[in-house]
Structure 1
Amino acid sequence: MTKAGFRRTGLEWFSSLPACLLLLAVVLFSTSSDIHNRMLQTGEQLWSGYYKLRMDPVAPECDPDRDIEDAVAAEMAQEPDSDDPMAALLGAEEKDPDEVRLSIERSVADCKAAHQDYQNLKDNLTPGVKAYRAVELFVADVIALGLESQRYILVILVMLCAVTATLTRHHIAMRAMETRLDYTVSHTLQTIANAMLLGSSVIFRQSSLGSDTSVSGEELLLHNLWIAGFACLTLASLYRLFRVPENLQEGGSLNKAFLAVPLYTVMCLISGTYFALIGHSSGIGIYLGKMMELADMFLNVGLYVWVGMMLKQTRLATLVFNVFRPWHMPPEMLAVVAVLVAAVPTAYTGASGIFVIAAGAVIYSELRAAGARRQLALAATAMSGSLGVVLRPCLLVVVIAYLNREVTTDELFGWGIWVFLLTAAMFTLVALSVNRQSRFDLAPSSVAFPAMIQALKPLIPYVLVISVVVMFYRFALDVTMDEFSAPRLLPVIMLAILVYEHVSLKNRRGRASGEINHQGLERSVRGATNDTTAEIGALLLLLGLSVSIGGVIERSHIMQSFPQAFDSAWSAMLLMVVILVILGMIMDAFGAVILVTATVAGIAYASGIHPVHFWMVTLVAFELGYLSPPVALNHLLTRQVVGEAEVMAAQQETGTFYQRHERIILPLIAMGISLLVVSFVPLLFYA
């Protein structure tokens, strides 16, 4: 979990610079589609019929000066073919000269019209049209290249970032590596798991080449990229295995050492062993290959992580917290405000885990600076991304609607607002009523309100920068900010904010004004990309192996042991809740959605549970799972961003059982109650 010194040297650009270029390429390719659509509209406005001018016109082959009388005579003089039954049946003597003449006249008229259209197109094909067309067709070629290269970009990005995460010891595990035994066990199992991935990919390639169906060059290249990537990943883990850091403690416990094994390694060992036992050694490679079917979704995850890391480089979070400081809120109330405010950026970063990675450190430090106890600050940080996953334009909801034709994004986001209000109310109630240790002694409004207004002023330029980018896309490219355009707009918005901070703070560095010094545009982008590479590697590799675990569940036919439909929607819902929470404990959100779609969703629909209701329950159950031991992914990500020392210090605090474990219990109570309400109350109205 600890970042190695490698990332603080010039070597960091060996991984982060290619990753930055790949992410920029994704933004460029997706934006070029918007540019192309606008160019087509503009071309049609400037030159009527521009769609026909996109290609050079081809001269018609017919004769517009054809003699009609000669053509009629020739047609009437034709003898019927005796071998043609239709001709014998109709008979040539039945030809009507008037009908023949009318047919030929229409044919000649159509020919003259075609020649006239051809001449008009030639006349309209001016040098200006040709120049515009050349640019427009170039953009179209860029789009085609982008669509074709999405899968390759994803494979290269995943493998590059996975190697970086391995070299920097940044994979997600239950606990950090503290002793030499932890280190040895973790990297030994990582090496075995990576070798499994390599072997499975090689076997999958060979089986594909040996099958009856032909393998295209593109598919063969994908196979080779996976093999090369896993070979590098295996070598990286071997290198780390024999390059033991000097700062590790001696000794250690074997039980604790196994907890330091990354989650993706555990998933790989389980799925790889299962597939090997059933004689399907290429199984992991096949299920990882399924990532390519949703390459755009996984690339969007990478973009959202990058957006979050760029957000971390800005002063936005600090300035937002400054707005609430004048009220001198007690820590519990400030924690509630932090979680509620975080719901909006969470919706724009795709998933709760991504937001915890992106802004968790800032939220934790701000709450601690306001006097919040460590347990409360950790609880709020872990839950900071849990409320916004049901709000527009969350990528997870878009994926659900994409995979399930029974629901639409409008339906899910419409009901998501009510689910958000419910979960927000539950968290507020629990945080302010259970274990409240501070008095509600807010500052007088006459003092706090003017200071709050003053604190809002520094945020105005940020609002203007965001508005300029959004308005540019709206009016120049006809693209509105929604769940479909957010992945390509948000990186541009964050880059624009970094440029603004670079320009506005450039001349104020070193002033004793109390402001955080901005480190410059290049360093900010580099720092964001450095963090992004390791996080993408840890997150997407975990997501890919989650899909593989889903394959194990699917092929083991565990779900077939359950009834394919229940007589009672209440019984079905009870089972769904248990299954969904367990999946949230052990799987990443996107992989879990794919698995749920293929398995339990159909059972829920057949049992009388409304599809929109089912997916609302799924989202809340997943969030409860991410906050529930033994895995508690959001707590693992919180520890990753705030540091092992802070978590250890929180665990050493004294008090009641609740106070000693508040970081776990508080989110469980809030989300647990919310899940029960979301799951069963709607059944009263339609079940």
Structure 2
Amino acid sequence: MLKGGFHRSGLEWFSSLPACLLLLSVVLFSTSSDIHNQMLRGGEQLWSGYYKLRLDPAAPTCNPEQDIDAAVARELAQEPADDDPMAALLGAQEKDPADVRLAIERSVADCKAAHQNYDNLRDRLTPGVKAYRAVELFIADLIAFGLQSQRYILVVLVMLCAVTATLTRHHIAMRAMETRLDYTVSLTLQTLANAMLLGSSLIFRQSSIGSDTTMSSDELLLHNLWITGFACLTLASLYRLIRVPSGLAPGGSLNKAFLAVPLYTVMCLISGSYFALIGHASGIGIYLGKMMELADMFLNVGLYVWVGMMLKQTRLATLVFNVFRPWRMPPEMLAVVAVLVAAIPTAYTGASGIFVIAAGAVIYSELRAAGARRQLALAATAMSGSLGVVLRPCLLVVVIAYLNREVTTDELFGWGIWVFVLTAAMFTLVALTVNRQSRFDLAPASRALPAMLQAIKPLIPYALVIAGVVLLYRYALDVRMDEFSAPRLLPVIMLAVLLYEHISLKNRKGTASGEINHQGLERSLRGATNDTTAEIGALLLLLGLSVSIGGVIERSHVMQSFPQAFDSAWSAMLLMVVILVILGMIMDAFGAVILVTATVATIAYASGIHPIHFWMVTLVAFELGYLSPPVALNHLLTRQVVGEAEVLAAQQETGSFYQRHERIIMPLIAMGISLVLVAFVPLLFYA
């Protein structure tokens, strides 16, 4: 991670306040839809036929008091028009007076009914109805505005946070900047990549304007926002390049300096160079524009990051660890407990990396306090978010079901439980056998159990606050807590938790081991949003460039070199596993899912691999990829939250080869065995 170097002062809200308002607006717009549905139901219950009262009734233009006899006479006296071709073709026919009278009588009756209905509706438009209607229509307009604004909110959020990540040197890289050479190489290539993004967006705008199709004002505004954002990003990186921070060591190695280049920069330079060589300079801009097609999904990613950062500001993680502390578990067993417990919040924060960012520091510090060696603590921290991605209501699974009609969320989450059990068992087995270096000497139950029950008590108010918000949405808005409502419920839940802590801890400070000094609601929310801005900028920019790399793979027709179907599902699965793990190494999860859906998935289906089986393999393979060198994204995120010094100290520890590289090898063994079992055992039953 590139981190530090930009002093956060009282002006920090200049970046985080707009991000906070944008995220709150997303929650507001999505919640307003639930409120509107309830208001329509409430209006129907209060005033039957409320849907007719939502707009002022239009007065009928017909005359209910017309003379029927005179109207019949006029109709019978009318001659067919000379220029009427039908009359000339069929010839004049005499009108039946009875039919004419019947038609006019029905018309008059309909007219009287329309006037009566108009009078009834006008009489029912009481001041109460008008006031209720005004609020309901305002919320309806708010929903329409929110849906229309999603794309603009996403662009502004990504660009604002990307600039913040650049100024704070917070982009995701293989190693931190330590020397002046690291800094110069990294910022020079960042500036070049940002200028390439700006140029591609400008070319894409000009080609869109010059195309045969007419560009709408909304599309033009979107283009202008991208261009403005990339211009600001280029200036930000140029500013950081010129203003070299003090404290950097002189000199440096060029090979190490290239490792300090952010991953998004590398992806941008690769994809930009490829598109330029094939004469498609607007390629990056086009693929970044595809993010707008899934704007709600990427905004949900931002909300999950925000939820994770608010979780980091609370005492929840420490209080949960306090429950297990009385048992005096050996480090290996505590690592297993930490990873298993972390699976649930991981499912609610959308992706493994987000949870590592949110709770990784607490997990690492608690394991170290329990006596865990650095390598074990780093391994457990990196893997803390890997098991929960298959559990409800993980956003990644929802995206898979959205993009692939062959599977549903219920099917994926149903089988995900069994995959979770398997991966949890494998991790437990590796941690307690291969990895075991401590004696199992648990505290007596007679002493540990009462202390454990005592430690549960502080968690009860949190459970009540969470249950209160969930029940409020359930009964007031008819919204259940599931994978579709989680993105808008979780921010409200975490805000309620922060409010509870603000009230309960206002006049006292945490004194228990590991508790934070709660500094109030505003400071906690500001701290969470400060962290969120940089993380959203790093993650979403990386995700967007992952989509661009997917475009390179798609346009280069690499996948066409493979057979489009295999005679053997076993051979196809072997190839799928290799490809999916490699994609997990080099691409963000959401970008990789989009690419896999367009390419690899069709080959798997055609080769006889069941869609549910394929996507379960994909999820496990991705997690193995995030833990695998050379990139190992979850390890990079772990290094960010625990600090470079701790990782360097772990690397200097002595011992066997396994002990010196335990943080890398242990997760690979657990997830590698799990992947082999998930991929090939089901084939025995249906292939």
Where on the TM-score scale, by shorter chain, does this alignment land: which range? Answer: over 0.9
Partner of residue 638, structure 2: 638
Shift of 1:65: 2.8
Partner of residue 595, structure 1: 595
Q: Tell me the distance in 2 between the aligned counterparts of 1:511 and 1:337.
A: 24
In the TM superposition, what whole-angstrom CA distance separates every residue of 1:407-442 from its partner, at most 9, and x where no partner exists?
111111111111111111111111111020112211
* 2:13 matches 1:24: no
Partner of residue 319, structure 1: 319
SS in 2 for 1:8: coil
1:567-586 aligned at under 5 Å gives the runs: 567-586=567-586
Distance 1:103 1:575, change over 3 A: farther
CA contact (8 A) 1:193 1:268 kept: yes
Partner of residue 130, structure 2: 130
What's the RMSD between the two structures over aligned residues?
1.7
In the TM superposition, what whole-angstrom CA distance separates every residue of 1:353-405 from its partner, at most 9, and x where no partner exists?
11111111111111111111111111111111111111111111111111111
Q: Tell me the distance in 2 between the aligned counterparts of 1:473 and 1:333.
A: 38
In the TM superposition, what whole-angstrom CA distance separates every residue of 1:555-579 from its partner, at most 9, and x where no partner exists?
1111111122222222221111111
Bigger shift: residues 598-607 or 275-284: 598-607
In the TM superposition, what whole-angstrom CA distance separates every residue of 1:507-565 from its partner, at most 9, and x where no partner exists?
11386898532121111111111111111111011001001001101111111111222
CA contact (8 A) 2:326 2:451 kept: yes
Tell me which amino acid in the other structure corresponds to 1:336: V
Tell me which amino acid in the other structure corresponds to 1:415: W
In the TM superposition, what whole-angstrom CA distance separates every residue of 1:155-181 from its partner, at most 9, and x where no partner exists?
111111111111111100011111111
In the TM superposition, what whole-angstrom CA distance separates every residue of 1:314-372 from its partner, at most 9, and x where no partner exists?
00000000001111111111111111110110011001111111111111111111111
Q: Tell me the distance in 2 between the aligned counterparts of 1:124 and 1:443.
A: 73
In the TM superposition, what whole-angstrom CA distance separates every residue of 1:598-640 from its partner, at most 9, and x where no partner exists?
1111121222222111111111111111111111111111111
Partner of residue 288, structure 1: 288
Paired positions, count: 687
Q: Tell me the distance in 2 between the aligned counterparts of 1:113 and 1:609.
A: 63
Partner of residue 147, structure 1: 147
Tell me which amino acid in the other structure corresponds to 2:377: A
CA contact (8 A) 2:2 2:172 kept: no
Shift of 1:54: 0.8
Q: Tell me the distance in 2 between the aligned counterparts of 1:406 and 1:92.
A: 63
1:90-239 aligned at under 5 Å gives the runs: 93=93, 95-239=95-239
Give me the TM-score of the superposition, normalised by structure 2.
Answer: 0.97
Partner of residue 255, structure 2: 255
Please list every run of 5 or more consecutive structure 2 residues that lacks an aligned counterpart in the other structure.
none
SS in 1 for 2:609: coil
Partner of residue 670, structure 1: 670
Q: Tell me the distance in 2 between the aligned counterparts of 1:470 and 1:419.
A: 28
Bigger shift: residues 80-89 or 150-159: 80-89
Distance 1:511 1:670, change over 3 A: closer
CA contact (8 A) 1:379 1:662 kept: yes
Q: Tell me the distance in 2 between the aligned counterparts of 1:420 and 1:104.
A: 74
CA contact (8 A) 2:315 2:515 kept: no
Partner of residue 492, structure 1: 492
CA contact (8 A) 2:2 2:173 kept: no
Q: Tell me the distance in 2 between the aligned counterparts of 1:590 and 1:184.
A: 31
Q: Tell me the distance in 2 between the aligned counterparts of 1:510 and 1:213.
A: 62
Partner of residue 370, structure 1: 370
Distance 1:510 1:489, change over 3 A: closer
Bigger shift: residues 271-280 or 18-27: 18-27
Q: Tell me the distance in 2 between the aligned counterparts of 1:398 and 1:336.
A: 27
Bigger shift: residues 243-252 or 616-625: 243-252
Partner of residue 433, structure 1: 433
CA contact (8 A) 1:81 1:88 kept: no
Give me the TM-score of the superposition, normalised by structure 1.
Answer: 0.97
Distance 1:648 1:96, change over 3 A: same
1:476-555 aligned at under 5 Å gives the runs: 476-509=476-509, 515-555=515-555
Bigger shift: residues 291-300 or 514-523: 514-523
Shift of 1:66: 3.6
Q: Tell me the distance in 1 between the aligned counterparts of 2:184 and 2:118.
A: 75
Distance 1:655 1:209, change over 3 A: same
CA contact (8 A) 1:80 1:91 kept: no
Tell me which amino acid in the other structure corresponds to 1:652: Q
Tell me which amino acid in the other structure corresponds to 2:58: V
Tell me which amino acid in the other structure corresponds to 1:38: Q
Q: Tell me the distance in 2 between the aligned counterparts of 1:386 and 1:100.
A: 79
In the TM superposition, what whole-angstrom CA distance separates every residue of 1:97-147 from its partner, at most 9, and x where no partner exists?
444444333333322222222111101100111111111111112112211
SS in 2 for 1:6: coil
SS in 2 for 1:506: coil
In the TM superposition, what whole-angstrom CA distance separates every residue of 1:172-194 from its partner, at most 9, and x where no partner exists?
00111111111111111111101
* 2:330 matches 1:330: yes
Bigger shift: residues 517-526 or 108-117: 108-117
Tell me which amino acid in the other structure corresponds to 1:557: H
Shift of 1:239: 1.2
Q: Tell me the distance in 2 between the aligned counterparts of 1:170 and 1:95.
A: 86
Please list every run of 5 or more consecutive structure 1 residues that lacks an aligned counterpart in the other structure.
none
Bigger shift: residues 625-634 or 134-143: 134-143
Q: Tell me the distance in 1 between the aligned counterparts of 2:616 and 2:110.
A: 59
- Equivalent pairs: percent with the same residue? 88
CA contact (8 A) 1:7 1:530 kept: no
Shift of 1:11: 2.7
Distance 1:564 1:94, change over 3 A: farther
Shift of 1:92: 5.3
Shift of 1:87: 4.3
Distance 1:513 1:252, change over 3 A: closer
In the TM superposition, what whole-angstrom CA distance separates every residue of 1:198-252 from its partner, at most 9, and x where no partner exists?
1111111111111111111111111111111111111111111121222111221
Q: Tell me the distance in 2 between the aligned counterparts of 1:503 and 1:305.
A: 25
Shift of 1:80: 4.6
Shift of 1:68: 3.7
Distance 1:116 1:576, change over 3 A: same
Bigger shift: residues 511-520 or 102-111: 511-520
Distance 1:510 1:383, change over 3 A: closer
Distance 1:76 1:563, change over 3 A: farther
Q: Tell me the distance in 1 between the aligned counterparts of 2:561 and 2:106.
A: 70
In the TM superposition, what whole-angstrom CA distance separates every residue of 1:455-499 from its partner, at most 9, and x where no partner exists?
000000000111111111111111111111111111111111111
SS in 2 for 1:609: coil
CA contact (8 A) 2:620 2:671 kept: yes
Q: Tell me the distance in 2 between the aligned counterparts of 1:515 and 1:277.
A: 55
Q: Tell me the distance in 1 between the aligned counterparts of 2:462 and 2:384.
A: 22
CA contact (8 A) 2:2 2:175 kept: no
SS in 2 for 1:475: helix
CA contact (8 A) 2:318 2:515 kept: no
Bigger shift: residues 222-231 or 273-282: 222-231
Tell me which amino acid in the other structure corresponds to 2:639: R
